Amino acid sequence: MLILFLASFLAATLLPAQSEGILWWQLYEGHWPAWLLILSATTGNVLGSWVNWFIGKEALKLSTKKWFPFTKHQLEKAQHTFNRYGLWTLFFAWVPVIGDPLTAAAGILKVPLRWFLPLVTLGKGGRYMVIWLVFHAVEKLN
């Protein structure tokens, strides 16, 4: 389960990681209850998004650093999307490519954590629930 948590955390950042396959594998192994695996994956993924939010919040101070994880183009695109569609875009923080910059844009725009955390959690937790439902359906077919 620690592997799932860490992979989920890293997958929410711009580091190359993938958590869905690890969740599927751990569901298949059956060593842990599904609800605990989903909770672990969701928690790791949300914490990774919170790191992006924090980086975004500090972006104006850090954006000139070489190691800064977002390109200027990624941040501008995320800010444009965020400004166009609003707070509810955070439900889609789980979407590959756009999700990580969106969470950073939320930090840049100083979206309060009281809005950020529930919206991101619902989206990311929902994605893991869908994976579990598909896994469950496939298992029933076998």
- List, for residues 47-82, the tens digit of each pLDDT value: 999 999 998 888 767 777 777 777 778 777 777 877
CB 116 within 8 A of CB 53: yes
The whole-model pTM stands at 0.84
Give the pLDDT score at 67.
77
What pLDDT digit, counting tens, does each position of 25-51 carry? 999 999 999 999 999 999 999 999 999
pLDDT of residue 123: 96
Q: Report how far Cα 136 is from the mean position of its chain's Cα atoms.
A: 23
The DSSP-derived string for 44-75 is HHHHHHHHHHHHHHTHHHHTTSTT-SS-HHHH
Phi/psi-derived region of residue 97, left when phi > 0, alpha when psi is between -120 and 50, beta in every other case: left
